[in-house]
Amino acid sequence: MNPRISEVIPLSNYKLKLIFTNGEQGIYDCSNFLNFGIFKELKDKNYFNQVQVLHGTVTWPHEQDICPDTLYLDSIKEHT
């Protein structure tokens, strides 16, 4: 099983800085989702910035979420 999210920080250009439970950090670009279904609401930057961690993944107030495995596998890892 891949690590889960322990902390999320919204960045500009619809990106998220992710801190994983194993201590790794990565940047995930959400811009590819912005034209699909329930994710269209994320285009509103104020709404996008309301992202939070719930049950090891990222989520927004109207229950949009992204699979934690996708977040881990597709994020660009930062070296600390």
Q: What is the pLDDT of residues 1-59, one digit of tens each?
A: 899 999 999 999 999 999 999 999 999 999 999 999 999 999 999 999 999 999 999 99
Architecture (CATH level 2) of domain 5-78:
2-Layer Sandwich (3.30)
Ordered by start, the domain boundaries in the chain are: 5-78
**According to the model, what pLDDT value does residue 80 have?**
61
pLDDT above 90 for 73: yes
**According to the model, what pLDDT value does residue 79 have?**
76
Specify the length of the chain in residues: 80
Task: Read off the pTM.
Answer: 0.94
In angstroms, rounded to a whole number, what is the distance separating the alpha carbons of residues 23 and 4? 10
In angstroms, rounded to a whole number, what is the distance separating the alpha carbons of residues 52 and 57? 8
Q: Which residues of 44-80 are buried (b: 16+ CB within 10 A; e: fewer)?
A: eeeebeebebeeebbbbeeebebebeebbeebeeeee
